[in-house]
Structure formats: structure tokens, C-alpha cells
Copies of this chain bind each other. A is one copy, B any other.
Amino acid sequence: AKGDDKNGEESGNEPEWENILSTFTTTSVLSDSAREKIMFLHGKMAGDEAVVVLEKTPIREDSLAELFRDSKLRLDMRNDIYSSYRLQAPSHLNEIKTTVVCPATEKHVKKYRRQESFLVEETGDDYRSVTLPYIQEQSLSLQWVYNILEKKAEAERVVYDDPDPEVGFVLLPDLKWDQKQVDDLYLIAIARQKDIKSLRDLSSEHLPLLHNIFHKGKAAILERYNLPASKLRVYLHYQPSYYHLHVHFTKLGHDAPGCGVERAHLLSDVIQNLQTDPQYYRTRTLWFPLRADDGLLGRFKEARRL
């Protein structure tokens, strides 16, 4: 349907307008966030299982003039100097990003379904009797980590590299960061030492490594991105998502996933705790969230620890 397009978009070689969703019937809402204006749906599309993700688009500064000129508003509430309206904008200024996975498998559906999480209490003994055996059984491959350390993969993405086998590490952007702006900066420092699975393995003998990551990591970020230490949050996860010591560097103010107090541990606190008690993380009770479908949660339930 070429020809003039009343939204003022040139209608040269743009793809056709269509309505592939007209055949979509919703089976269930997998999850949604009112805060992020996003909704994950499971349903059927022309006979196939499908997952549809609807996400409102951010408000763009460069469309404000047109938005103000061509929108209409209806008053909702007025109170002294405050008033609120429902604004209806021209649709081309207010699109909804729609992602479709079709045909979708049960794995896709599971991935997007909101997972309730549970806060688990793990004593030092719990770690040795429940968590450690589970990690060892899983024995998830760390070859991709070693490829990075040995420059067999992602070498071009490395921001800083300390080759020392004891205290050295590699610093590179996290996959979640598109590196377009410093506002949501997210880098990972991967330790070169291979036998440190998590916070639980750390003792005062690792202080030189931790200090090195902390100071050289911040210095490298200051130099490359001109971001001072006072703008950085430097922390470890417990439980980590993979069992090879790595430290997260994120911009303060950017609420990166996983920077909540229930999972993140400031590296500066870890260093201080080990300085006063070399065995701090071997004897401590630690709390962490686990998703409902996490195998480790099942182990804690079997051990009657939840």
C-alpha cells in the first residue's frame, strides 16, 4: 500500500504495514513490569506456540516539539499549581516495540515467565554440605572464561589486562552494556587465578589479588572512560552466576540488575572483613536469592533449610 502516508513518513522502500498480531490469542501473561512498561505474553499465532514481548519506547528528546504541537490532552486532575492529563500522541511518535518468538518452545516460555525468588540462609556448614556438592555436580564448563583469559576470545573487547598469574586479571565490558553511554557503564574483572569459585573461597591470602583488582580496575576505568572512583560501585555477587572469581564495576546511580543488597557485596567491605577476620567468609552465614526453578533451591528444601 504505497502512496502518501498521513503520518508524514516517506513511504519509499519501508516494509509494509501489516497486522501479524491479529491472529495472536493470549494464553497467559508470563510477566510484566509497570515500572518498565513491558509485558511478556505466551499464546498462539496461526496455530504455532508464540511468545510476544510488548515494550513501550523511551520518550525521545528529538520528538518533543512535534509531540507538543500535534498531541491532544484530557484533564485528569487539577490541584493548585499541579495538574495531570492523559495525552494522546500521533501514533508514529509513540510506538510500542514488539518482539515475537514463533514458533516458541517450552524453554522460551520458561525463560520469560516471572520467577518468584526466595531468600536463602546459608551457614558455613550449609555451604560445605549442600551448596558445594551441588556446584561440583553441575561442573558447568568455564572454558569460555579461560578463552578470555588466554586471549582466544573477545580479545578486542579487553579494556585492561594484568598478566600476573597470582594477582592479575582481565577487565572487559559486560554483555549487558551496549557501551553507547557511560550512564549505564558495566565492566567485569575476571581473576587469572583459577581455583577461586566464589566469596566462600576467599581468605586473607587473596587480599593482594583483591586490592589489585580494586585499585587497577578503578584506575583503568578513570583513564578509559574518565569516570572517577566516586562514581563507581564495585562488588561481587553471591551466589555468582559462574564459579570463577569475577568482580562487577557499575556506574553509581545505574540500577544494574543484581546490585541489590541481597546479592551484591561491596569489594571494599570484603577486603575490610578479611583484614579483620581471615576466615570471615568461611564461617559466616550468608543470605542470597534463588529463583524457584534453581536446582540449588531444591537442595536447600531437601535439607530442610527453607
A binding-site residues for B, Cβ under 8 Å: 7, 14-22, 24, 26, 29, 32-39, 41, 54, 56-59, 61, 64-65, 67-69, 71-75, 81-92, 94-104, 116-121, 229-233, 235, 252-253, 255, 259-262, 264-266, 268-269, 272, 276-277, 284-285, 287, 289, 306
Asked if A98 and B72 sit within 8 Å, CB to CB, the answer is no
List, in ascending order, chain B residues with CB within 8 A of A253's CB.
116-117, 289
List, in ascending order, chain B residues with CB within 8 A of A34's CB.
58
Min CB distance A264 to B, Å, is 4
Bound together, the chains give a CA A207 to CA B172 distance in angstroms of 43
Asked if A232 and B97 sit within 8 Å, CB to CB, the answer is no
Asked if A68 and B36 sit within 8 Å, CB to CB, the answer is no
List, in ascending order, chain B residues with CB within 8 A of A41's CB.
64
Bound together, the chains give a CA A149 to CA B94 distance in angstroms of 48
List, in ascending order, chain B residues with CB within 8 A of A231's CB.
116, 118-119
Given A34-B58, A94-B94, are A74 and B15 neighbors across the interface (CB < 8 Å)? yes
Bound together, the chains give a CA A68 to CA B231 distance in angstroms of 44
Bound together, the chains give a CA A118 to CA B98 distance in angstroms of 37
Bound together, the chains give a CA A118 to CA B252 distance in angstroms of 8
Bound together, the chains give a CA A120 to CA B228 distance in angstroms of 12
* Closest partner residue, chain B, to A94 (CB atom): B94
List, in ascending order, chain B residues with CB within 8 A of A67's CB.
21, 54
List, in ascending order, chain B residues with CB within 8 A of A57's CB.
37, 56
List, in ascending order, chain B residues with CB within 8 A of A277's CB.
276
Bound together, the chains give a CA A71 to CA B35 distance in angstroms of 23
Asked if A74 and B230 sit within 8 Å, CB to CB, the answer is no
Asked if B252 and A268 sit within 8 Å, CB to CB, the answer is no
Count chain B CB atoms within 10 A of each CB in A17, A38, A59, A235 and give the residue with the most.
A59
Asked if A262 and B285 sit within 8 Å, CB to CB, the answer is no
Bound together, the chains give a CA A129 to CA B21 distance in angstroms of 64
Asked if B69 and A84 sit within 8 Å, CB to CB, the answer is no
Bound together, the chains give a CA A72 to CA B87 distance in angstroms of 20
Contact of A230 among B38, B102, B306 (CB under 8 A): B306
